[in-house]
Amino acid sequence: MEKILVAGEWRDADATSSFRAINPNTGETLDREYPVSGRSDVEAALAAGNDASRELKRTPRQAIARFLEGYAQRIDDRSREISAAASEETALPVSPRLADVELPRTTNQLRQAAEAVRNRSWTQPTIDTASNIRSMFVALEGPVVVFGPNNFPLAFNGISGGDFAAAIGAGNSVIAKAHPSHPHTSQLLAEAAFEAVEEAGLPAATVQMLYRTSHEDGELLVSHPLTGATGYTGSRSAALKLKQAADNAGKPIYLEMSAINPIFMLPGSLAERGEALAEELIGSVLLGTGQFCTSPGLVVVQAGDDAEAFIDAARGQVETAGVGALLSPSGVEGLGRSVETLIGAGAQLVVGGETAEGPGCRFQNTLLRTSAEALLAAPEDLQTEAFGNSTLIVVAADADEMVAVAGAVEGSLTGAIYSHTGGQDDALYARIEAPLRQRVGRLLNDKMPTGVAVVPSMNHGGPYPATGHPGFTAVGIPASLQRFAMLACYDGVRERRLPDELREQTSIRGCWRQIDGEWTLS
Amino acid sequence: MEKILVAGEWRDADATSSFRAINPNTGETLDREYPVSGRSDVEAALAAGNDASRELKRTPRQAIARFLEGYAQRIDDRSREISAAASEETALPVSPRLADVELPRTTNQLRQAAEAVRNRSWTQPTIDTASNIRSMFVALEGPVVVFGPNNFPLAFNGISGGDFAAAIGAGNSVIAKAHPSHPHTSQLLAEAAFEAVEEAGLPAATVQMLYRTSHEDGELLVSHPLTGATGYTGSRSAALKLKQAADNAGKPIYLEMSAINPIFMLPGSLAERGEALAEELIGSVLLGTGQFCTSPGLVVVQAGDDAEAFIDAARGQVETAGVGALLSPSGVEGLGRSVETLIGAGAQLVVGGETAEGPGCRFQNTLLRTSAEALLAAPEDLQTEAFGNSTLIVVAADADEMVAVAGAVEGSLTGAIYSHTGGQDDALYARIEAPLRQRVGRLLNDKMPTGVAVVPSMNHGGPYPATGHPGFTAVGIPASLQRFAMLACYDGVRERRLPDELREQTSIRGCWRQIDGEWTLS
């Protein structure tokens, strides 16, 4: 049985049972046996994490930055080993996905977080000199719990991903709950993280990791009096249970839980470049076998010859594309159930719809269609997230129906509108944009949503039920750090007792501070 | 029966019953009869508020700013009438409280919100030119519901206070739930607000007001699919029920629900100026008959002659002070129950503790004391909020016990540390500050917390259970506006379709924008 990382050591779990991961490409069970932790592991991690959080507040920020950079370097150094492990456990290709894109993105996030730790701009120091009142964001009191999802074993992993980088960057300790579909990947990352913690001289329990717990103990993790906050990426059903537990305890929880990412293809765009758009759409739908949070699951077109030609072209793309493996057997089952729900609610199968032949976890590339009338009659069922290589095209009778669909979409991470490169779709664009804008975190023009740039302006968030709160983003530094912080005001506090960020003469360089209403660079 | 303001008109309520306010100074019931609204009033307000919210997004921001300023002017113009009504319903004096302090604060907040509407800096436009990704905060889709408390009939009133100003400033419509202890004050304010809405040409349902609903309909207000978000200031018990309803529906809710606002008087400060501090403390405790969210309810001192002299001096102050009226009969009952709870948990009465003689709603000015040992043994009961003219002094045996108390305080709006003007308390300051900092939104030095300046750096918020989330403030513009907004990202959106705030060449003047990592003034 493999060991867990708790309280500054790799140690035997208080295991209630064990599990093994599966190679989704072949369906075979992998060798390593991992523990399902019992309650005492959870409590030990929370106690040690709380002590580490307290110590971190006395730790020079340079040490935290050095940890993030040292960890990033160790991941880079072991790129081959980590990517191979992740590929074995997820069926995602080493190249061009894991080693070439996701791993560099992961280390880039860690390095951006290190830069945020150094320049402190994320704390938004706000100083009113006349009243001598000063405020900034500071780390939470207790550890941050991070639940990673199955679909990004590196860039969203609880021990290395965006929430991890944000929580550490904000000065917190982290208890990572690895996703049980890729325990060995998480283990390799945690080994590198722990070495980097020791090298940087951070408190030993700054990073901890459990592989799996019971649902009850997961709820304890997010609601325990010692918990600072939680970041979660994963399924909506599990998310809502954790949300309820955290909410009842008054603990912040940031959830990224589902999205169908609607795309509106306005008539002018289909007339102008329908075939190219079909190719672009299906490329995005099948990227990572469709297992992206931002995968386009609903495509709205207006009825007519152009729409039918577009659907034909999309079908052609779907039919000729290879069938990628899904992340797990439960992913195959889940996708099958969702497709069934969609069909039960009135969607028609254009192509695919069944578990695929061959070894491992595979489902046929799937294209469905329905009418806007049907969607408006059963908006909930026909917006069932089909997580994987499937999408649903909604054919609206006319422009009014397209607008009505925009007003019926659920809160989502993204929404895209494709329009004619000239101005001929502009009137309809405005009518669709108004309701769509309020339902999505990121609005795109003529662009698929599957790329998520790590830049300050990114919003990887959106209205419920895409996330739990429409004001926060999980990607984009420095904004993502503020989720794992509290607002701390200093009123009349003597100069020598102020944090460096808030002093008249700060020693920090490169920090943007709002002084008497003006943003000023230190 | 008085009328409610719904859907752009003063109209008869669908009343399930009625109520009258009480003059707390005399105990007499006032004449005007106000409706308890039934469900159809709630639903009508939500539907009209949703339409108004949609229209507001197409309304020039100058009109919203003009509304806020016009409304402020109307309140100023009717200062005498509004202050008189508020004084009759709350027993707070017209002077020096309502007309001189609270009303100017109220109109100042509205004018600051107007300025925020004009310069747009609150939206934090963030632009990355290389990727052409841009984001900003925008208004919510649906109306904001604001529940006002009993203790600030103007500055926190649901129809005129800080949450109202913030929600309107962010571009939302508002449904105010007036506090039933001061319906006539709220009515006068709503009349002025509605006139200002019409004058500014805003959608007629931009502001709406109900006087009272059932608990179930209150829960519907915060959780309805059309609701954008809720701001609430009031009791913890009602807050937690609303929180659960809003949380379950995935609706943001910002709660300011309780605080005991601990004060640590370090030994050097008592030795240096104990008597003056006793006077300062009791002045703050009795301000507004102790009915401030930031009233100091727990005062920690270290045992010894200085502490006893301080307690004696505080008792003297309490005994010689006049007894102000509380806001309502239920306020008298609530304070009595809280004092009983404190005594039951081991606190000793120094002075007061009973309902006071005389007309109206009065409770004796009350001072209690207990030991740190007792508090640490029953931290929850001995941190019962006694809302009113009462405070509890905790005598710690030594410095270690003072530190332990700091580690046991609940999340609170404020925490203050008084220390010797020289450096002799500095070591103990550091030990107390570390835990206290994490438990309070605003940390003060040598200053009572009852003053809450409306400046950008103010934090009128704090960790649970002071509020529902430690990252937000209810006072301080522009930060308070962001609570009632969502993060809206534009990815590759064509220039002419961008909001003015995000364009290369914005027409807005005085807007701070973060462009490629640099804050730049437009």
* pLDDT at residue A448 tops 90: yes
Is residue B334 pLDDT above 90, yes or no? yes
Helix (H, G, I), strand (E, B) or coil at A151: coil
Asked whether the beta carbons of residue A250 and residue B439 sit closer than 8 angstroms, the reply is no
B335 exposed, middle or buried (CB, 10 Å; 0-12, 13-18, 19+)? buried
Q: How does pLDDT run across B14-71, given as a tens digit for each residue? A: 999 999 999 999 999 999 999 999 999 999 999 999 999 999 999 999 999 999 999 9
Residues 269-298 of B with CB under 8 A from A: none
Burial bucket for residue A509 (CB in 10 Å: 0-12, 13-18, 19+)? exposed
**Distance separating alpha carbons of residues A322 and A467, to the nearest angstrom:** 32
Q: In terms of Cα–Cα distance, which of A402, A487, A152 is closest to A288?
A: A152
- Give the confidence band of B258 by pLDDT, cuts at 50, 70, 90: confident
- How many residues are listed for chain A in this entry? 522
What pLDDT sits at residue B90?
97
CB contact under 8 A, A456 and B134: no
State whether residue A20 is helix, strand or coil.
Answer: coil
B-chain residues within 8 Å CB-CB of A408? Answer: none
CB B185 within 8 A of CB B89: yes
Which residues between 400 and 459 in chain A have a beta carbon less than 8 angstroms from any beta carbon of chain B? 411, 414, 429, 433-434, 437-439, 441-447, 449, 453, 455-459
Contact B383, B413 (CB under 8 A): no
Report the DSSP pairing between strands A512-515 and B144-147: unpaired
Q: How far apart are CA B91 and CA B329, in angstroms?
A: 12
> Would you call B55 an interface residue with chain A, using a CB distance cutoff of 8 Å?
no
What is the 8-class DSSP label of residue B356?
Answer: P
pLDDT tens per residue across span B268-277: 999 999 999 9
The pTM score is: 0.97
Confirm or reject contact between B120 and chain A (CB < 8 A). no
pLDDT tens track for B142-153? 999 999 999 999
d(CA B261, CA B103): 25
Alpha-carbon gap, residue A9 to A44, rounded angstroms = 12
Query: Dihedrals φ, ψ of B500, to 5°?
Result: -50, -40
Chain A CB contacts of B483 below 8 Å? 471
Contacts A511 to B, Cβ<8 Å: none
The total number of residues written for chain B in this structure = 522
Tell me how far apart the alpha carbons of residues A244 and B249 are, in angstroms, rounded to a whole number.
11
| Beta strands B229-233; B253-256: pairing state | parallel
> How many angstroms separate the first and last alpha carbons of chain A?
51
Enzyme catalytic residues of A: 256, 293
What lies within 8 Å, CB to CB, of B492 at 6+ separation is A444, A445, A446, A447, B132, B133
**Residue A14 structure tokens:** 């208080």
| Interface predicted TM-score (ipTM) | 0.98
Q: What is the pLDDT of residues B175-196, one digit of tens each?
A: 999 999 999 999 999 999 999 9
Other C-beta atoms closer than 10 Å to the C-beta of A312 total 14
Whether A419 shows a pLDDT value over 90: the answer reads yes
Output the average pLDDT for chain A: 97
Predicted pLDDT at A57: 97
Lowest mean pLDDT among A1-10, A290-299, B353-362: B353-362
User: What is the arithmetic mean of pLDDT over B247-251?
Assistant: 98
Residue B277's Cβ-side half-sphere holds a number of Cα atoms within 13 Å equal to 31
* B463 touching A (Cβ < 8 Å): yes
* Phi and psi, residue A285, nearest 5°: -65, -40
Residue A383 has pLDDT above 90, yes or no: yes
Which residues of chain A are within 8 Å of residue B57 when distances are taken between CB atoms?
A: 434
Q: In this structure, are residues A425 and A454 in contact, taking their beta carbons and an 8 Å threshold?
A: no
What band does A358 get if pLDDT is binned at 50, 70 and 90?
confident
Burial B462-492 (b: 16+ CB within 10 A, else e): bbbbbbbbbbbbbbbbbbbbbbbbbbbbbbb
CA dist B305 to A292, A326, B274, B282, B448, Å?
68, 74, 11, 20, 23
Kindly report, residue by residue over A105-115, the tens digit of the pLDDT: 999 999 999 99
The answer to whether the Cβ–Cβ distance between A243 and B244 falls below 8 Å is: no
The A133-139 sheet, strands edge to edge: A518-521, A512-515, A126-128, A133-139, A485-491, B440-445, B412-418, B262-265, B298-302, B390-396, B366-371, B348-351
* Model pLDDT for residues A476-509, shown as the tens digit of each residue: 999 999 999 999 999 999 999 999 999 999 999 9
- Name the residue among B437, B459, B491 with its Cβ closest to that of A443: B491
- Separation CA A129–CA A150 (nearest Å): 49
Please list every residue in chain A whose beta carbon sits closer than 8 Å to the beta carbon of residue B493. 443-445
What is the DSSP pairing of strand B229-233 with strand B207-210? unpaired
Tokens of A66: 């050095």
User: What Å distances lie between residue A141 and A61, A135, A224, A249, B216, CA to CA?
Assistant: 16, 17, 13, 15, 35
The encoded tokens of residue B134 equal 């841009």
d(CA A429, CA A414): 16
Of B445, B458, B486, the CB nearest to A494: B445
Q: Which of B278, B262, B257, B286 has its CA nearest to residue B356?
A: B286
**Amino acid identity, residue A502?**
L
Please name the member of A133, A429, A447 whose beta carbon is closest to the beta carbon of B455. Answer: A133
Q: Which residues of A touch B443 (CB under 8 A)?
A: 488-491, 493
List the one residue out of B52, B449, B482 whose CA is nearest residue B285: B449
Contacts of B461 (CB under 8 A, 6+ apart): A487, B256, B413, B441, B467, B469, B470, B471, B472, B473, B474
SS (H, E, C) A184-218: HHHHHHHHHHHHHHHHHCCCHHHEEEECCECHHHH
Distance CA A318, CA A242 (A): 36
Q: Which of A438, A27, A40 is nearest to A213 (CA)?
A: A40
- Position A357 confidence tier, pLDDT thresholds 50, 70, 90: confident
Residue B489 annotated among the catalytic residues of the structure = no
pLDDT tens digits along A135-194: 999 999 999 999 999 999 999 999 999 999 999 999 999 999 999 999 999 999 999 999
Residue in A391, A442, A394, A384 with CA at minimum distance from that of residue A282: A391
| CA proximity to A221, closest of A44, A374, A355, A478 | A44
Q: What is the per-residue pLDDT across B458-489, written as a single tens digit (0 to 9) for each?
A: 999 999 999 999 999 999 999 999 999 999 99
The encoded tokens of residue B497 equal: 């379709």
Judged by CB atoms closer than 8 Å, whether chains meet at A488 and B252 is answered as: no
Chain A closest CA to B56's CA: distance in Å? 12
How far apart are the C-alpha atoms of A290 and A297, rounded to whole Å? 9
Cross-chain CB nearest to B456 (options A126, A141, A243): A126
pLDDT for B357 beyond 90: no
Task: Give me the mean pLDDT over the B310-337 stretch.
Answer: 97
Which among A455, A489, A514 is the nearest to B459, CB-wise? A489
Kindly name the residue from B88, B280, B293, B501 that is annotated as catalytic. Answer: B293
